[in-house]
C-alpha cells in the first residue's frame, strides 16, 4: 500500500463483518495483478456515515481493477455482475439481497457541467481529486482501516466542514449539480458557518442550474426541502441566488420554520405543503417552478387538494373543518391547518383543537345516490347530476344531517 497509509480505524461495523461483504472483497482480491496495492476499498457515504455514527445504507467501492477485470473476478466467484454504468467504470455486484456498486479508479478528462468523460487510473489520489467534497473521499478496507488520500478529509468530517475538493469554482463548472449538493450536504453534515469560498462559487454560478435536467434538479431539491434543516438551508439558497434561479421570487423563512416544526410535532412530514408554501400559495409560481422541478400527477393532485382545503378553512370554524375533511380528505385538511398556523392566521391552541377534531371526526358518506334519483323518475344526464350536486350541497350546509 505504498500510495496509502491508514490513519484511523472505523468503529465495529456489521456491514464490514457481513459474509457477503467478505466474499466480495475476496473475489476482487483474487482478480488483482499486483497484490501489494489495495485492490478495492470502500469509499464515500458508507465510510463517512460510519465514522459519525449514522446508519449505513448504500455500500460503494472503488477499485484499481478495470471493469472487465471486475466482471471476470465476480463471475469467477459466482457473484452476479450487472454493468450498470460501464462507460464510467461502474459494475453492481449482487449477493443474495445485497448490492454493492464497484467503480474503477478514474479521472475526468473532459466535463461540460452535466456529463464527464473519464479515463481509468491506478491512482487513489487522482480518483479522490475528481470527487465533489473532501468528506466523500475517505476510504476504508475490510479491516476497517481508514485512508485519507487528500490528507484533510477526516479533519473536515470531524469539524463538520463541507469543503469542495480543490477549487469550488472548478468543481461546479465540472458539474453544476454540485451547487444543489453543497446545500444538501451542508444540511446533513455541516455545522457552523458555511465555507466562504463554496458560497461565493454557488452564488456566482447560481444560474448554471438552468443547464441541468429536471430529473437531476428534482432529486436534489426534494431531498433539501425534506431535510431537518430545510428552512435554514433554503434561506441560505435564497440569499445565494439559487432559489431565485429556480423562479422563487421571495422566501419567508418564518413560514417554513413553523410549518416544518408543526409537521415534526405531529409526525406528518410531507413535501407537498412545504413546496406550496415555498411557492407563496400561488399557482402561477408553481407553474414557473415546474420549468425546473418535476412533479408527479399525484403530487399535483395533492397540491390542488391542499389549496382547496385552505379555501374551505378560511372561515376557521368547526363546520369549515368538516367541509374540508369531506371535500379534500383528512391528510390535506390536517396539513392545511398546519399551514394556517405557519402563516400566522391560526394560533397554537386553534391548531391543536383543529387537528384533534380532524383526526377524530368520522367523515360521513352522502346518503343519496344517482340511483335514488332515477328511482324517483329523474332521467340520467345533466339534470340528474345537477340535482344530485344541489342535494349534496344542501346536506353539507345543514351540517351533514339528513
The domains of the chain are located at: 1-159, 165-245, 247-363, 368-402
Task: Tell me what pLDDT residue 278 has.
Answer: 92
Neighbours of 399 (CB within 10 A): 10
Q: Distance between CA 165 and CA 148 in Å, rounded?
A: 13
Tell me which residue of 224, 229, 226 sits closest to 202, measured CA to CA.
224
Q: Which CATH class is domain 1-159?
A: alpha beta
Rg for the chain (alpha carbons), in Å? 27
Contact 90, 131 (CB under 8 A): no
CB-based contacts of 357, cutoff 8 Å, min separation 6: 318, 321
Contact 208, 179 (CB under 8 A): yes
Q: What are the two backbone dihedrals, phi and then psi, of residue 85, each rounded to the nearest 5 degrees?
A: -155, 60
Cβ 130 vs Cβ 113: under 8 Å: no
Q: What is residue 90's predicted lDDT score, i.e. its pLDDT? A: 94
Cα angle 387-390-391, degrees, rounded to a multiple of 5: 85
Please, what are the averages of pLDDT over each run of 10 residues along the chain (402 residues)? 79 94 94 75 96 94 95 95 89 95 88 73 93 97 96 97 96 94 96 96 94 92 94 94 88 93 94 94 89 92 96 93 97 97 93 96 93 86 90 93 80
pTM, full prediction: 0.87
Query: Three-state secondary structure along the chain?
Result: CCCCCCCEECCCCHHHHCHHHHHHHHHHHHCCCCCCCCCEEEECHHHHHHHCCCCCCCCEEEECCCHHHHHHHHHHCCCEEEEEEHHHCEEEEEECCEEEEEEECEEEEEECECCEEEEECCCHHHHHHCCCEHHHCCEECCCCEEECCCCCHHHHHHCCCCCECCCHHHHHHHECCHHHHHHHHHHHHCCCCCCHHHHHHHHHCHHHHHHCCHHHHHHHHHHHHCCCCHHHHHHHHHHCCHHHHCCCCCCCHHHHHHHHHHHHHCCCCCHHHHHHHHCCCCHHHHHHHCCCCCCCHHHHHHHHHHHHHHHHHHHCCHHHHHHHHHHHCHHHHHHHHHHHHHCCCCCHHHHHHHHHHHHHCCCCCCCCCHHHHHHCCCCCCHHHHHHHHHHHHHHHHCCCCC
Provide the pLDDT for residue 402.
73
* Residues 6 or more apart in contact with residue 343 via CB below 8 angstroms: 255, 258, 277
The CATH superfamily holding the domain 165-245 is cca-adding enzyme, domain 2 (1.10.3090.10)
Distances (CA, A) of 257 to 213, 245, 277, 338: 29, 22, 11, 11
Amino acid at each position: 500500500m505504498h500510495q496509502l497509509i491508514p490513519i484511523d480505524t472505523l468503529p465495529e461495523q456489521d456491514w464490514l463483518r457481513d459474509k457477503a461483504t467478505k466474499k466480495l472483497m475476496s473475489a476482487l482480491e483474487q482478480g488483482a495483478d499486483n497484490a501489494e496495492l489495495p485492490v478495492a476499498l470502500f469509499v464515500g457515504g458508507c465510510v463517512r456515515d460510519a465514522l459519525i455514527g449514522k446508519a449505513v445504507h448504500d455500500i460503494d467501492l472503488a477499485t484499481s481493477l478495470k471493469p472487465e477485470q471486475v466482471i471476470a473476478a465476480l463471475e469467477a466467484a459466482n457473484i452476479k455482475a450487472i454493468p450498470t454504468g460501464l462507460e464510467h467504470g461502474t459494475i453492481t455486484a449482487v449477493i443474495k439481497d445485497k448490492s454493492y456498486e464497484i467503480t474503477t479508479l478514474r479521472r475526468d478528462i473532459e466535463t461540460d457541467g452535466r456529463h464527464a468523460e473519464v479515463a481509468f487510473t491506478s491512482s487513489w489520489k487522482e480518483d479522490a481529486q475528481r470527487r465533489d467534497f473532501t468528506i466523500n473521499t475517505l476510504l476504508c478496507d475490510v479491516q476497517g482501516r481508514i485512508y485519507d488520500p487528500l490528507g484533510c478529509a477526516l479533519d473536515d468530517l470531524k469539524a463538520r466542514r463541507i469543503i469542495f475538493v480543490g477549487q469550488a469554482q472548478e468543481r461546479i463548472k465540472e458539474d453544476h449539480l454540485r451547487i444543489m449538493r453543497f446545500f444538501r450536504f451542508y444540511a446533513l453534515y455541516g455545522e457552523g458557518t458555511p465555507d466562504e469560498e463554496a458560497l461565493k462559487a454557488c452564488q456566482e454560478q447560481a444560474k448554471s442550474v438552468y443547464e441541468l435536467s429536471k430529473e437531476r434538479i428534482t432529486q436534489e431539491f426534494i431531498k433539501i426541502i425534506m431535510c431537518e434543516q430545510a428552512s435554514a438551508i433554503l434561506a441560505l439558497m435564497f440569499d445565494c441566488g439559487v432559489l431565485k434561479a429556480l423562479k422563487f421570487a421571495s422566501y419567508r423563512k418564518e413560514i417554513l420554520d413553523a410549518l416544518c416544526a408543526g409537521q415534526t410535532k405531529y409526525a406528518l412530514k410531507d413535501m407537498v405543503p412545504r413546496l406550496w408554501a415555498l411557492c407563496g400559495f400561488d399557482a402561477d409560481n408553481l407553474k414557473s417552478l415546474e420549468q425546473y422541478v418535476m412533479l408527479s400527477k399525484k403530487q399535483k393532485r395533492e397540491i390542488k387538494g391542499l389549496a382547496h382545503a385552505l379555501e374551505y378553512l378560511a372561515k376557521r370554524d368547526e363546520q369549515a373543518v368538516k367541509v374540508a375533511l369531506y371535500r379534500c380528505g383528512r391528510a390535506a385538511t390536517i396539513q392545511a391547518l398546519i399551514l394556517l398556523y405557519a402563516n400566522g392566521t391560526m394560533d397554537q391552541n386553534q391548531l391543536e383543537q383543529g387537528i384533534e377534531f380532524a383526526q377524530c371526526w368520522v367523515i360521513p358518506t352522502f346518503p343519496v345516490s344517482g340511483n335514488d334519483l332515477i328511482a324517483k323518475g329523474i332521467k340520467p344526464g345533466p339534470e340528474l347530476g345537477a340535482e344530485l350536486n344541489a342535494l349534496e350541497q344542501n346536506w353539507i350546509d345543514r351540517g351533514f344531517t339528513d
